[in-house]
Structure 1
């Protein structure tokens, strides 16, 4: 993810938190994760989020998965408490991006069950790809229409693989 963020968004800084030291070593050795402005933290994401007291972030990405009997599942349920903790890390106009195992999991998340989390975000979008079950929730501090997000994606260099004949392969829906 860090390499992709650098390629598409060129952020000034990135913090990656990973529990498994082997995953961190693989990121360093094979995915060029150690770059200027990148901080890799070995630790539990929940504890790190709760203890963080630094500058707010423009974007927080939650892609926390583990497995049970070989099936992928979220490592931390996206409850109202967890989403509120992640939202606390953001600038007022910041974006929270969460990978969910399914559309149903997204629809059952803390955004829909916790009014404080609901009020925190001015726009919420669901991003899906036809060959995958998972759904990406994009929770925005500033209101954007799907057409504005499509335009932003098209302007990123190198995302041509997301398009066929100028049309997106993905589906983007605004959630009301």
Structure 2
């Protein structure tokens, strides 16, 4: 893979590597984002973050918030599947945001990207709730990736407060034990959700957890995938690797 962009700051080396048309963002050798200009599917964890939108009818998810944009891998599939009326993405790392805007070039006019701390931004936010919040707050740390924000009571409660009454919350955890030890796994305290799902894939250890306000079933996600011309094709060819399990 050829390195086409690089920066180094505060002990972190950032690189964008190209393999054919596929672009990958690395920080200290750990991959943080992946983008292909002609494909929605990456075959890895980034697919797990947008797949939960297919648990609901797309027209229900018109206000979208991404916390932890990285290189912006999520924007193209969310745009294609939802055509959101409003899309806001908050990213703490200026180099990641530069990649999303200038190297991957995935941000279009009308889509708001914010350089800032996601926790502070959400605490200060006083607008309409979002129909979809994707929380993917991971930070470069030595040779591994770790969550930047603990999923404790305060943070999970704040997230819940900003999801609409028909909305979906998606959270990314390093692995399933990390989720099980977090406040988000306490069903008794996670009031207001009708369904919970765990998404995983063979290519990563992450556990992506989706919470839906409205009742949902994984078979509905599968059927919507099969009906989509590009995603259905990727599914049949085995390029869309995912496993979903309902937790309720």
TM-score by length of 1: 0.89
Match of 2:45 in 1: none
Larger radius of gyration: 2
Equivalent residue for 1:66, pick from 121, 139, 142: 139
Match of 1:170 in 2: 242
Structure 2 residue 198 is matched with structure 1 residue 126: yes
Task: Mark the runs of 5 or more structure 2 residues left unpaired by the alignment.
Answer: 1-73
1:30: Cα distance to partner? 2.3
SS in 1 for 2:77: helix
Query: In the alignment, is the contact (CA less than 8 A) between 1:162 and 1:170 conserved in 2?
Result: no
1:114: Cα distance to partner? 6.8
Task: Mark the runs of 5 or more structure 1 residues left unpaired by the alignment.
Answer: none
More helix by share: 1
Structure 2 residue 171 is matched with structure 1 residue 93: no
Query: In the alignment, is the contact (CA less than 8 A) between 1:3 and 1:31 conserved in 2?
Result: no
The number of residues matched between the two structures is 175
Match of 2:213 in 1: 141
Question: Which segment drifts farther, 159-168 or 48-57?
Answer: 159-168
Root-mean-square deviation (CA), in Å?
2.1
Alpha-carbon separation, structure 1, partners of 2:225 and 2:181: 27
Match of 2:122 in 1: 49
1:162: Cα distance to partner? 5.1
1:26–1:67 distance in 2 versus 1, CA, 3 Å: closer
Match of 1:24 in 2: 97
1:140-172 C-alpha deviation (Å, 9 max, x unpaired): 111111112222333344324752468973111
Query: In the alignment, is the contact (CA less than 8 A) between 1:58 and 1:95 conserved in 2?
Result: yes
Query: In the alignment, is the contact (CA less than 8 A) between 1:96 and 1:140 conserved in 2?
Result: yes
